[in-house]
Structure 1
Amino acid sequence: MKIVLRWMLASAMVFAGVSHMFWARKEFQAQVPDKVSEVTGIDKDGVVLASGVVEIMLGSALVLFPKDRRRVGRILAAFFVAIFPGNIAQYTQKRDGFGLDSDTKRLARLFFQPMLVAWALWSTSRSRV
């Protein structure tokens, strides 16, 4: 079961990363807090493209480096934590994106991020024998 869920997560990450670069760039820009551009000097589109590359790399690493899967899982979990402020910004600044066009939907989305963290950690943890 862990293998299937790890592959599903890997596929979702690669898909999300590719979507950052093509059809969903504007949607992802709604999740980039204004402070990120101010602090880094990188515009929102650049942040979206860079995070897309990272998502493709992490998703690929989940399946290409099975001996390092626990490390990759921890890095992916940390990535999910690192991008969480973007979800908070989308909620607090009432930015629409990905069908999250109400406060209720944007708030519900915030509770999904911890599940992604848990998914990354559990699917890459050692199996008990």
Structure 2
Amino acid sequence: MARTPHLLAAGLAATLTATGVLHLVRPRVFEGLIPAVLGSPRAWVLGSGVAELACAAAVAVPATRRVGGVATAALFVAVFPGNVKMALDSHPGARSWARKPAVAWGRLPVQIPLVAWAWQVARRA
């Protein structure tokens, strides 16, 4: 049972690393999530990728795990409006997998367990 907090943190760090790298390597996939009023979508996407990598590093290190978990939960809440925008903009026959309604709408409830996961990592640190 003592290993469970470490496994939860390692899984979260790995997930954040994968998504952070994806934001940096394939930013166009995420640019449609950014409302025009915020300006350059590329800057926001790259910034969120860097934030995910920073959270991954914080969660991976036991000394910073608590703050990393809280920061990750906040990040997951902060990106939720972008996921809502993607769902509202989705349409059948979209070329991008992320723009397909089933995927776009399906992502919304996934944010709840993601926030809970990050919060649990913070609490168990």
Give TM-score scaled by structure 2 length: 0.84
Larger RCO (CA under 8 A, 6+ residues apart): 1
In structure 2, the partner of 1:40 is none
- Number of positions where the alignment pairs a residue of Structure 1 with one of Structure 2: 120
Structure 1 or 2: more helix by fraction: 2
Structure 1 residue 91: deviation in Å? 0.7
RMSD of equivalent CA atoms: 2.0
User: Which residue matches 1:108?
Assistant: 106
The percentage of aligned residue pairs carrying the same residue is 31
Q: Which runs of 5+ in 1 are unaligned?
A: 38-42
Equivalents in 2 of 1:97, 1:74: separation in Å? 35
Picking from 91, 116, 119, the partner of 1:118 is 116
CA contact (8 A) 1:17 1:51 kept: yes
User: Are the aligned partners of 1:2 and 1:124 in contact in 2 as well (CA < 8 Å)?
Assistant: no
* Equivalent pair of 2:87/2:99 in contact (CA under 8 Å): no
**2:42 matched residue in structure 1:** 45
Q: For residue 102 of structure 1, report the CA deviation from its aligned partner.
A: 3.0
Q: Deviations over 1:17-46 (max 9, x none)?
A: 122111x21111122222322xxxxx1111
Q: Name structure 2 gaps, 5 residues minimum.
A: none
Q: Give the alignment's TM-score, normalised by structure 1.
A: 0.82
Distance 1:98 1:125 in 2: 37
Distance between the aligned counterparts of 2:34 and 2:47, measured in 1?
12
